[in-house]
Structure 1
Amino acid sequence: MPVTSENKFDNIKRIILLSPLFLMVLFASSVKGQRNELGFFFGGSYYIGDLNPSKQFAMTRIGAGGLYRFNINENLALRVNGFWGNIAGSDAIVQYNENRNLHFRSNIFEISVQGEVNFLLFTPGDLDTPSTPYIFAGGGFFRFNPQAEIDGQWYNLKPLNTEGQGSELYPDRKPYSLTSHNFLFGIGYKFNITRQFTGTFEWGMRRTGTDYLDDVSTTYPDPEVFGNNSLAIELHDRSLENRGENVNFQRGNPNTNDWYSFAGIILTIRIKDFSRHRCPAYN
């Protein structure tokens, strides 16, 4: 069926973006207020996979979200993220894959946790420790939904089983889940703006637990598996040459899972300013 709205998962998106607020309330009663930060992320998101094997920042689209950070000490911090982004890929940007002629787009809704290690001593709001580069790593879960376009209309790809998933002809190809996990890592740079606000530049990669962010993974199936589903027949093989004659030829690389990335700026505020707690030892 045609996609009537890109906001099908609006409720999930709201939960993800608001989750740091609930975590802030949960932790504020049990830890020192000065160690807590609440913030917002704005930047871009992009994808690395079968339709873009190596070009960093190719087809970057808008990403945004919220986060909660607990500073353990001047070198270590823990963070919870609720991020949303949009990713896309196309054979049109990879010269040697032009004939395959596939493309996709997908929303990403992520909840994740990461640990941060500061290279220099850093305390949010302390202008005597003005800035530091840092590295981070962690993991989380995310929701996605690959779509492709025909004549201006976008269609969800998973229900079409474009590689014969779930058919008797290909019993080893199981339908994939639209929810998966990730392992994330990256680098960033924090700097105190005032005693209340901290800024951050951050770039993080996500290695996912799925090879179907783009709905592309293995070989072309026999079109017979689609029966009279003309939409699946059209979207599974869009080759510029030999269309419909690629049965068992490689459609994607099943040996590597897909990646996506968030990169952008973060603005956080110390929750101390909204708390009655005071802790002179950590100011």
Structure 2
Amino acid sequence: MLYLLIAGICFFTASENKLFAQKIELGAGIGGLNYKGDISPSLRMRFFRPAGSLFFRYNPNQALSLRAELMMGGIGAADRHSDDPLLVARNMSFKTRILEGSAVAEYNFLNFVDRRFAINWSPYVFGGISYSKFNPDIQTSSYKTSGFVLPYGVGIKYQVRRPWNIGLEFGSRKTFTDYLDNLGGEPVNKEKLQQGDPSVKDTYYYLRLSVSYTFYKIVCP
């Protein structure tokens, strides 16, 4: 009788921990950052720069996932690669490093439920808020190099083999700065080739492939 009581308590406790543990993932991602702004008015593949991230994901239910992520990478662009002869004549370029911490919510279109012997995958959309710090190689004027950013995008996640998951995600970062490319604010001289467009804020993008591990609690015998 005592053995059955101990076994019951053990099973119940482990099961509760197991249910909680299955909701937690730790993962890492690798990919690239890209930029759109005064020096690159459109998204161009040649300007992708390496980036990587670490993240924590909590899955409270089948449809919703909450994620905290720390990302680091670089962006850069150069006028000499433009198709616009005026930009080529301007011949400006920049490089900057970005450190970003974000908190986002993911909405899973399919029921992303833990299953031992079933295909488990789902496309999703995400959105949230982040805080970004950028460090330009050259800073020609005094401006703020940090601020809030609005991340949003789409992705797909797939449980390869319990407890491992992979994912592919593409996200945009709406910033409130025009200085990612060291070319922003009101014009400081009369030379139009040296001026940017202060009405349009800079944007950067993160494309990443991720691997995550879901934690499981081993039920005691």
Secondary structure of 1:98's partner? helix
The TM-score, its normalising length taken from structure 2, stands at 0.83
Distance (whole Å) between structure 2 residues aligned to residue 215 and residue 145 of structure 1: 10
Residue 217 (1) aligns with residue 205 (2): no
Q: Which has the higher strand share?
A: 2
Residue 121 (1) aligns with residue 65 (2): no
Check the 8 A contact 1:123/1:129 in 2, yes or no. no
Residue of 163, 166, 170 corresponding to 1:196:
163
**1:260 corresponds to which letter in structure 2?**
Y
Residue of 27, 52, 65 corresponding to 1:39:
27
Residue of 101, 104, 110 corresponding to 2:94:
104
Alpha-carbon spacing, 1:126–1:251, altered in 2? closer, same or farther (3 Å): farther
1:170-228 CA deviation, whole Å, 9 max, x = no partner?
xxxxx321111110111111111111100001111101121100111245424xxxxxx
Residue of 166, 174, 184 corresponding to 1:207:
174
The TM-score, its normalising length taken from structure 1, stands at 0.66
Moved more, 99-108 or 47-56: 47-56
Alpha-carbon spacing, 1:125–1:58, altered in 2? closer, same or farther (3 Å): farther
Distance (whole Å) between structure 2 residues aligned to residue 98 and residue 81 of structure 1: 37
1:96-122 CA deviation, whole Å, 9 max, x = no partner?
211111100011100001110111111
Residue 123 (structure 1) shift: 2.3
**2:26 corresponds to which letter in structure 1?**
L
Note the residue ranges of structure 1 that are not aligned, 5 or more in a row: 1-28, 148-155, 162-174, 223-245, 279-283
Alpha-carbon spacing, 1:40–1:59, altered in 2? closer, same or farther (3 Å): same
1:57-111 CA deviation, whole Å, 9 max, x = no partner?
3410111010000012111100001001110011112222111111000111000
**2:211 corresponds to which letter in structure 1?**
L
**1:180 corresponds to which letter in structure 2?**
G
Residue 57 (1) aligns with residue 45 (2): yes
Residue of 182, 204, 214 corresponding to 2:149:
182
Check the 8 A contact 1:199/1:266 in 2, yes or no. yes
Distance (whole Å) between structure 1 residues aligned to residue 75 and residue 154 of structure 2: 21
Secondary structure of 1:182's partner? strand
Residue of 54, 68, 83 corresponding to 2:56:
68
Check the 8 A contact 1:36/1:271 in 2, yes or no. yes
Structure 1 partner of 2:5 = none
Give me the identity figure in percent: 29
Matches within 5 A, 1:6-45: 32-45=20-33
Structure 1 partner of 2:6 = none
Distance (whole Å) between structure 1 residues aligned to residue 56 and residue 24 of structure 2: 7
Residue 256 (1) aligns with residue 200 (2): yes
**2:92 corresponds to which letter in structure 1?**
L
Distance (whole Å) between structure 2 residues aligned to residue 124 and residue 132 of structure 1: 12
Structure 2 partner of 1:24 = none
Distance (whole Å) between structure 1 residues aligned to residue 116 and residue 171 of structure 2: 26
Distance (whole Å) between structure 2 residues aligned to residue 142 and residue 127 of structure 1: 40
**1:176 corresponds to which letter in structure 2?**
Y
* Number of aligned residues: 200
CA RMSD of aligned residues (A): 2.0
